[in-house]
Amino acid sequence: MLQCALKLCELLEICKFPVSPLRKQSQEKNLLLRLHVVRPGAMATQGSSSIDIVGRLSAALLREREVRPRAALIAQAVMELFPSSAAAVYAIEDAEDPKWTSIAVLGEIHLDQQVIPIDFGTLGAVAECPQPVVYSGSSLNREDYAHLHSRRTVQSLAYVPFLMDGNLIGALEIVSFETAISEEELSLVDFVEASGTAIAAALEYERERNSQLSSISRLAQLYDLEKVFNSTPEMDDLLPIVARKFREVLDVQAVNLWLVGGDGELILLNRDGKDPTIEVGAVQRSGEGIASEVSDSGEPLVLSVAQDDRLKRRNAATEDGAVYSLMAAPIVAQEKLVGVAEVINKLGGTAFDEDDVFLLTSVVQTAASALHNATLLQAERKVEILETLVTVSKEITSTLNMDGVLHTVVNGTKAVVPYDRAAVALEQRGKLQVKAVSGLDAIRLGDAEVQKLREVLEWATVSNDEIHIKQHGDEIDADREETKAKFAEHFQRTDMRAFYAVPLLDDAGRIGILSFESGDPDFLTEAHLEMIRVLAAQVTVALRNAELYKEVPFIGVIEPLMQRKKRFLAMEKRRRALFVTATAAAAIFLTFCPIPMRLAGDASVAPQNISQIQPEFDGVVRSVAVHEGDAVKKGTVLAELEDWEYRSDLAAAEAKYKSALAEMNRALAANDGTEAGMQRLQADFWSSEIDRAHERLEKTRLRSPIDGLIDTPHVETFAGRRLEKGDVFAEVINTSAAMVDVAIDQEEVRFLKPGQDAAVKLESFPTKTFRGTVAIVSPKSTSNGDDRVFFARVSVPNPSGEIRPGMQGRGKIWTGWHPAGYVLLRRPLAWIWSKLWSWFGW
């Protein structure tokens, strides 16, 4: 029997070699059929049965290479040796973190947990002293073997440890239900050493197999990463993919991708996961952080101790989500640094080790070439954009034809800017007019779509800054709710998802605005934006030159007159006579027929009676009760200052007042008139102090002095802010009467007089006309683009408060009845007269 066991050990040692893919013969039922059950009555002699079982077990174990099938065979052999029993086989798979792992259970028992603590119950006793042991069922408490569950009474509980080179690798648990197991019977289990060797060999085999499978899986992952990275040439699309794949492969909290910028600094361009210690877009120069340290050294870096000074500096600004373990590796392609990959916190809670660093450097190598190629593609795109910009610049600067310039701008940049619609609108005589739209040869008068576009562009001209509005899904990237509502309607109507507008400005003022729209919210890159800004400057110069050309004396008058003279002389006599008659009739109408003359101009509602809310002493704003645009009444509490100090003064004054009264009453009761008089004076003094304390306490409540509207933006943000005496907390506008400023050209200011009737049409109320009278004509002109204007201040009743400061529209002022020619032709006649005077007058 001993020779057979030794032979089995030798065979098991030889069997440690890789095998074909896992066979499906490891099911418990098939395994048990391989080990023949001893026929009833065959255990007449325990020794012969044991030898027979060992021989059959040895042959069966050789046919199986995995742990669980071998454990099932061992458990079945035990049940043959000990009828009416059950068996469980345990293994310790990890010596560094020992636990009992159930790998086979046969018989009328079951386990709720497959993994059991090493020191639990009777198994813990085996771990502490790895020797065969038999427990009588009557001597054990149920808690000692609580890991086992059986409906039958346990007579004996026996354990046989599996040892390999003196180390505990597992144990055999035998549960007897009918007869007790003696130590002599337990010693007859002759295959224990062979079984331990079999279990150890199977564990080693599975470790090698799992290691090989892990290596194959890692190679497959790297191959998949390389395919995905190299199939994505666009940098904006590649960076999120690289960060996400790195995070999936490494199983970490976050991955930061730093790329080298134009000045050699590192820029954090993308992140996947959560890292509150640094913001995306952060820049690091040499010696300023962990990423720059890796960039300077060119070697991977591992920080596995949270007390590292570099991690402490990194975590200084945050407590939630701190970095406790970090590794970083340089991204190098063709011996050039592309960037740095920074990996934050393993999800398992452990620190990074050398295997993690090796995996990181492997995945970084797969991404390096893809990132390098994406960088080259970006550089090529910039060159293409610059070439297109040069071409367009030549075209728009080589002509003084304004229509040609505009047509080139909206159509010539299509090759490099992926927009769906471009438009240019110019300011002419105070109005914004759409002059060119991509894809349209001419702008049709009354086109509804062009009119809607003009409204959006007119809104964009409120500011002289660039405007970039994008919609992702249902979210619109804008600060103000009014902007979100406006572009939600615009995007829904046009199917666009992005709007970008840049003003056309020079030293002389604003000429107009250039806009681009697209169905892709991210259609503009930084290179596109740089090109558009340069293009806008060149367009401004070209348009200004075209305007100056038009102002050359008689350049726009003589040529049309000559052409009309030729057409007139080419007419038939009858048509010529009809034309002369119509001209004479028109001259009579213009000379003798009076019509009402109205002066029109842009109108804006000016604020009237603005009251500033100011604290009378220093203090901290405790709460704010209003928001911008709220209607308030006189005396309404707008905010409250911290008043604990004044409440304390009030309480102290009241206490001293009551004390003085009590002392006075006590003196009166004692007929001490002198003392009573003195206390009466004290009571009067503290009574006045109470009134003063009440007054100071009341002044901590900032109230509105008038009825009106809150005009201060974001007034609610003043909560918690300290105000000095005299600081303006908020402004309240009285809207009971509105003053509307109508801008009238300086050429027509001579017609303006106070008391004239006026009508105002505001954009906020397109169907309503507000009427009033001219109260004041401004004595000083104001610049309005290239023109000078005077303001006619029209007083308009506003009992409902619907007219609010800042509203815009058009106003007309009635100046009386004048000949039609004077009303219709006064402007060109005045211009001709001024030109003639400038040439010949003295």
Whole-angstrom Cα distance, residue 21 to residue 49?
Answer: 36
pLDDT at 119 over 80: yes
CATH of range 2-210; options 3.40.50.300, 3.30.450.40, 3.20.20.140, 3.20.20.210: 3.30.450.40
Q: Give me the pLDDT at residue 27, please.
A: 34
Mean pLDDT across 497-517: 87
Provide the CB-side half-sphere exposure for 599 (13 A, CA).
26
Residues 163-207: tens digit of each pLDDT = 888 888 889 899 998 888 887 777 655 566 777 778 888 888 777
- The tens digit of pLDDT for each residue in 612-635 reads 888 888 888 888 888 887 888 888
Coil, helix or strand at residue 84: coil
% of the chain beyond a pLDDT of 90: 4
Express each pLDDT in 48-105 by its tens digit: 455 566 667 766 777 777 888 888 888 888 888 888 889 999 998 887 889 999 888 9
Q: Checking phi first, is residue 629 left (phi over 0); if not, alpha (psi -120 to 50) or beta?
A: left
**What pLDDT shows up at residue 839?**
75
Q: Which two tokens stand for residue 812?
A: 């007309």
Per-residue pLDDT, averaged over 423-444, amounts to: 84
The whole-angstrom separation of Cα 820 and Cα 175 is 121
What tokens were used for 817?
Answer: 């009845």
Q: Which residue has the higher pLDDT, 445 or 710?
A: 710
pLDDT, position 33: 32
CATH (one of 3.40.50.2300, 2.60.120.10, 1.10.1060.10, 2.40.30.170) for 746-840 = 2.40.30.170
Question: Is 234-381 the same fold as 2-210?
Answer: yes
Which residue, among 316, 343, 377, has the nearest Cα to 251 in the 3D structure?
Answer: 343
Give the model's pLDDT for residue 523.
85
CATH for the stretch 609-642+700-734: 2.40.50.100
3-state helix, strand, coil in the chain (%, to 5): 45, 25, 30
What digits encode the pLDDT tens for the residues 1-32? 333 333 333 433 333 333 333 233 333 333 33
Q: Please check the confidence at residue 771 and state whether its pLDDT lies above 80.
A: yes
**CA atoms of 159 and 87, how far apart (whole Å):** 10
Check residue 809 and give its pLDDT. Answer: 92
- pLDDT recorded at residue 567: 77
Nearest to 708 by CA among 805, 604, 625: 805
Name, of 97-106, 326-335, 563-572, 661-670, the range with top average pLDDT: 97-106
Instruction: Tell me the backbone φ, ψ of residue 168, rounded to 5 degrees.
Output: -75, 120
Please state the rounded mean pLDDT for residues 265-286: 85
SS (H, E, C) 416-470: CCCCCEEEEEEEECCEEEEEEECCCCCCCCCCHHHHHHHHHHHHHCCCCCCEEEE
Q: Tell me the average pLDDT across 135-150.
A: 86
Average pLDDT over every residue of 114-124: 89
pLDDT, one tens digit per residue, over 346-401 is 887 788 888 788 878 877 777 777 776 767 666 666 666 666 667 667 666 666 66
CA nearest to 236, candidates 262, 263, 266, 257: 257
Beta-bridge mates of residue 436: 424
What pLDDT is stored for residue 5 in this prediction?
37
Please give the CATH topology (third level) of the domain spanning 234-381. Answer: Beta-Lactamase (3.30.450)
- Give CA 716 to chain center in angstroms: 24
Residue-wise pLDDT tens digits, 457-488: 888 888 788 889 999 888 888 888 888 888 88
Q: Which helix (H) or strand (E) holds 128?
A: helix 121-128
* Per-residue pLDDT at 38: 33
In this prediction, residues 766-779 reach a mean pLDDT of 89
If one compares 358 and 228, the residue with the highest pLDDT of the two is 358
Alpha-carbon distances of 781 from 100, 604, 741, 751, rounded to whole Å: 95, 16, 13, 15
Q: Where are the domains of the chain?
A: 2-210, 234-381, 399-550, 609-642+700-734, 643-694, 746-840
| CATH topology assigned to domain 399-550 | Beta-Lactamase (3.30.450)
Q: What is the pLDDT of residues 543-568, one digit of tens each?
A: 877 777 666 555 555 656 666 777 77
Q: Is the pLDDT assigned to residue 581 strictly greater than 60? A: yes
Lowest-pLDDT range, 128-142, 189-203, 696-710, 824-838? 189-203
> Which tokens is 137 given?
């069922």
pTM for the structure as a whole: 0.37
Question: What pLDDT score was predicted for residue 140?
Answer: 85
- If we measure between CA atoms, which residue out of 82, 359, 402 comes closest to residue 221? 359
